[in-house]
């Protein structure tokens, strides 16, 4: 076993010991009727305003309550949803005509129209605190032609604009209701136009939904859905193994493998439309040193991580794109070389005798094996001369710190990209104009702005591939793995899997 491609047995054993035991399992009703569904979920919502946050984990719940204008399929094809059709009206890609379905109702019985679109996407985006202000930053006007037809007018060429109509933060809220009750009233009693309406919410505990009988797609077969908020992954394991929930998502990989032997359960494991990466904050002084960044990147044995935590099903990444996607760079690789990493860190003035003092932030149980992967990487960095403090933070805290440019150090994060397009990988991860970015290099802003304005085609993709290669060469961010997601269900439950990690109860069925 080569030291350059695998962890030693001692390293592997040390990483796998001491993992958290199953936590106390809160009370969850055990008996299930044919039209109910209990889901062990990994996080609560940050906000009930779906236009306020870019929170990939919460999209399953947002899609239940609000639906979405367009919908990305598991194979990353953009499909009609609330928007029945769309087309560009000009060659410059500044005027996009959209046509809504004419049978969409909000949960209060009012009809969804283009007035609601204009309010949600244009009026409300004036509040720069809302995520939609960033997602639709170039949207200049919404010209209403009829209750179901409007033209989205962009301030500059925006050939990929429709990508975002099925992505994070871009939802349609009820204008009349929101104006009547205000922000606080809406957060206290949110309504949307999705297949389910909210009937009970206990923060940090559970979200109870009821099927909406006027949903344009027909009332779902599953009439009552409860998302049990169980951040501790071992608690989700215990919940599904005991039969007290019907569905559990994002379990530790080793536990999902073990549960494959349970005759009462179905286990699905599938590649995610996400990348595990290390976000490096340019505003933390030590990371301005390229030798420091290069050494940390070079010290990570990505193949060993894939083997130890995903049984080689996860794919090591060389750039900020999933293997085989349009932003991937065939033939390119960033080397793993522990000896050279030690020498490079020494050039920056750090060694085991004078270690680099650093913080590695990570979630715990939000993404498969997140905390354990952070532990493994910290150990790899200690071997080259770093003194690593692991800081466990929640997704909500990460969002707060990252958006305010206050991350204390490097952050292990799983970046979701329903579209698969490189604009939503490096185009946003490295764009200093956006709050999602941790590495805020001004030159990248100019470069990415040009890519954003380019027509879809080979030249644009070549530009993103060049950006991706430069990003890895300079270690502005460190790509790690394309992770493998999992969903475990009772044998009596059938629910589709999505590479985006969506759990959509409206598409679920109970079988006998």
SS (H, E, C) 87-131: EECCCCCCEEEEEECCCCECCCCCECCHHHHHHHHHHHHHCCCCC
Task: Using alpha carbons, select from 54, 44, 48, 43 the residue that is nearest to residue 129.
Answer: 54
* Pair 301, 262 in one domain: no
pLDDT for residue 134: 87
- State mean pLDDT over 85-90: 97
* Pair 42, 100 in one domain: no
Is residue 180 included in any domain, yes or no? no
* Pair 134, 257 in one domain: no
* Pair 331, 389 in one domain: yes
How does residue 368 score in pLDDT terms, banded at 50, 70 and 90? confident
pLDDT for residue 367: 86
Above 80 in pLDDT, residue 504?
Answer: yes
Q: CATH code at 129?
A: 3.90.76.10
pLDDT for residue 32: 58
* Pair 468, 497 in one domain: no
Grouping H, G, I as helix, E, B as strand and the rest as coil, residue 166 is: helix
Which are the contacts of 382, defined by CB distance < 8 A and separation ≥ 6?
355, 388
* Pair 289, 437 in one domain: yes
Dihedral sign of CA atoms 280, 284, 290, 291 in order:
negative
Q: How far apart are CA 437 and CA 320, in angstroms?
A: 13
Which residue segment(s) compose the domain that 140 sits in? 69-173
Grouping H, G, I as helix, E, B as strand and the rest as coil, residue 275 is: strand
Radius of gyration of the chain (CA): 23
CA triple 244-245-248, angle to 5 deg: 135
Q: What is the pLDDT of residues 307-335, one digit of tens each?
A: 999 989 899 999 999 998 999 999 999 99
- State mean pLDDT over 457-467: 97
The number of residues making up the chain comes to 512
Q: What is the pLDDT of residues 174-220, one digit of tens each?
A: 999 999 999 999 999 999 999 999 999 999 999 999 999 999 999 99
Q: How many domains does the chain have?
A: 3
Is residue 374 included in any domain, yes or no? yes
Task: Using alpha carbons, select from 353, 370, 351 the residue that is nearest to residue 362.
Answer: 370
Q: What's the mean per-residue pLDDT of the chain? A: 92
* Pair 265, 279 in one domain: no
Q: How far apart are CA 129 and CA 438, in angstroms?
A: 18
Q: What is the pLDDT of residues 447-461, one digit of tens each?
A: 999 999 899 999 999
* Pair 459, 490 in one domain: no
- State mean pLDDT over 140-152: 98
- State mean pLDDT over 116-121: 98
Q: CATH code at 243?
A: 3.40.190.10
Q: What is the pLDDT of residues 271-297, one digit of tens each?
A: 888 999 999 999 999 999 999 999 999
Above 60 in pLDDT, residue 87?
Answer: yes
pLDDT for residue 332: 97
* Pair 436, 460 in one domain: yes
pLDDT for residue 28: 44
Task: Using alpha carbons, select from 498, 32, 35 the residue that is nearest to residue 242.
Answer: 32
Q: CATH code at 435?
A: 3.10.105.10
* Pair 302, 370 in one domain: yes
* Pair 379, 439 in one domain: yes
Least confident of 371-375, 378-382, 395-399, 438-442: 395-399
């Amino acid at each position: 076993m080569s030291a350059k491609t695998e962890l030693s047995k001692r390293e592997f054993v040390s990483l796998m010991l001491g993992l958290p035991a199953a936590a106390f399992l809160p009370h969850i009703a055990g008996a299930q009727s044919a039209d109910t569904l209990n889901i062990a979920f990994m996080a609560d919502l940050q906000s009930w305003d779906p236009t306020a946050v870019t929170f990939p984990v919460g999209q399953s719940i947002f899609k239940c309550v609000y639906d979405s204008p367009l919908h990305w399929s598991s194979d990353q094809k953009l499909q009609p949803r609330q928007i029945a059709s769309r087309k560009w009206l000009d060659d410059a890609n500044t005027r996009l005509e959209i046509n809504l379905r004419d049978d969409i109702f909000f949960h209060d019985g009012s009809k969804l129209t283009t007035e609601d679109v204009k309010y949600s996407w244009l009026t409300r985006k004036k509040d720069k605190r809302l995520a939609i202000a960033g997602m639709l930053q170039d949207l200049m006007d919404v010209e209403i032609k009829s209750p179901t037809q409007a033209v989205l007018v962009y301030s500059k060429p925006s050939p990929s604009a429709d990508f975002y109509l099925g992505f994070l933060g871009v939802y349609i809220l009820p204008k009349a209701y929101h104006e009547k009750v205000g922000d606080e009233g809406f957060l206290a009693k949110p309504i949307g136009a999705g297949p389910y309406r909210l009937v009970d919410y206990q923060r940090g505990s559970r979200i109870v939904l009821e099927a909406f009988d006027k949903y344009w797609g027909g009332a779902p077969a599953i009439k009552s859905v409860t998302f049990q908020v169980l951040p501790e992954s071992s608690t989700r394991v215990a919940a599904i193994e005991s039969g007290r929930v019907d569905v559990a998502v994002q379990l530790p990989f080793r536990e999902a493998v073990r549960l494959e032997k349970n005759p009462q359960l179905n286990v699905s494991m599938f590649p995610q439309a996400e990348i595990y990466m290390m976000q490096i904050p340019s505003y933390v002084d030590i990371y301005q040193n390229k030798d420091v960044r290069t050494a940390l990147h070079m010290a990570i044995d990505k193949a060993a991580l894939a083997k130890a935590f995903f049984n080689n099903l996860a794919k090591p990444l060389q750039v900020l794109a999933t293997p085989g996607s349009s932003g991937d760079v065939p033939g390119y690789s960033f080397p793993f070389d522990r000896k050279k990493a030690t020498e490079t860190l020494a050039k920056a003035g750090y060694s085991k005798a004078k270690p680099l003092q650093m913080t590695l932030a990570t979630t715990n149980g939000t993404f498969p094996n997140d905390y354990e992967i952070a532990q493994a990487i910290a150990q790899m960095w200690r071997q080259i001369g770093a003194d690593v403090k692991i800081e466990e933070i929640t997704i909500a805290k990460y969002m707060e710190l990252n958006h305010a440019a206050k991350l204390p150090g490097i952050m292990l994060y799983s970046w979701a990209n329903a579209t698969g397009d490189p604009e939503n990988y490096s185009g946003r991860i490295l764009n200093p104009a956006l709050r999602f970015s941790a590495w805020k290099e001004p030159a990248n802003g100019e470069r990415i702005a040009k890519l954003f304005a380019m027509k879809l085609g080979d030249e644009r993709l070549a530009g993103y591939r060049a950006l991706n290669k430069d990003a890895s060469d300079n270690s502005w961010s460190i790509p790690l793995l394309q992770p493998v997601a999992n969903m475990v269900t009772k044998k009596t439950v059938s629910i589709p899997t999505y590479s985006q990690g969506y759990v959509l109860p409206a598409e679920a069925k109970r079988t006998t």
